[in-house]
Amino acid sequence: PFSQGDSSTTRSFGGTGLGLVLSKQLAKGLGGDVALVRSEPAKGSSFAIRIGGAPAIAHAAKDSRVERDGLSLKGLRVLIADDSPDNRLLLRRILTRQGIVVEDVENGLMAVERANEFDTILMDIQMPVLDGYHATARLRADGYKGAIIALTAHAMKEERDRCLAIGCTEYLTKPIDVPQLIKALIGSLSVNASVL
């Protein structure tokens, strides 16, 4: 795993090191990997990212519980609301491998405007223009009955409770664990069936 040599937050370039973990997951999701090129104490590190053809993470998802249990997500219409183009790309690749119809938007306001076209929304919580909390609250107030799955980097119980209280049907932490995402989408099928 990755860690910082100097983990103090008083360094001139602070951070938690999460960016490297996310980069590795994104590279793996695109069929590649991250490799250390060089590292010098007090100077920093350089990494190389190799991207392959088919996403490896999507292949792992394809052999998930969905196929083993005979369940199908094929044809499910999912809207991804996330301000990170990289996150949207990774999620899109994972979902389309499952036969899911996917569109994406970059903020909560756009999600509110497009929501009724979709069965399920993957809602990033921290977004510009309109965040996931307010977008979800507005959708529920407007009568949207589909599943809303919260996506957040905050893994605290209070965050989960807040997301569920405003109307999210499920809560997932970033970086996204593909089997958990698939399980949440399977759960969204029952939410969507109850709307019909």
Q: Omega of the bond prior to 175 within 30 degrees of 0, cis? A: yes
Measured CA to CA in angstroms, residue 26 lies from 35, 93, 96, 100, 134 at distances of 13, 11, 16, 20, 28
Measured CA to CA in angstroms, residue 48 lies from 4, 34, 89, 180 at distances of 17, 6, 20, 29
The DSSP code for 8 is -
Q: Which fold has domain 56-195?
A: Rossmann fold (3.40.50)
- Residue 64's pLDDT band, with cuts at 50, 70 and 90, is very low
Gap between the Cα atoms of 186 and 78, Å rounded:
12
What is the per-residue burial (b if ≥16 Cβ within 10 Å, else e) of 33-70? ebeeeeeeeeeeeeeeeeeeeebbbbeebbebebeeee
| pTM for the whole structure | 0.67
- Parts of the chain belonging to CATH 3.40.50.2300: 56-195
Q: Select from 38, 15, 28, 85 the least CA-distant residue to 58.
A: 28
Note the pLDDT of residue 45. 76
Average pLDDT, rounded, for the chain? 81
What digits encode the pLDDT tens for the residues 76-131? 999 999 999 999 999 999 999 999 999 999 999 999 999 999 999 999 999 999 99
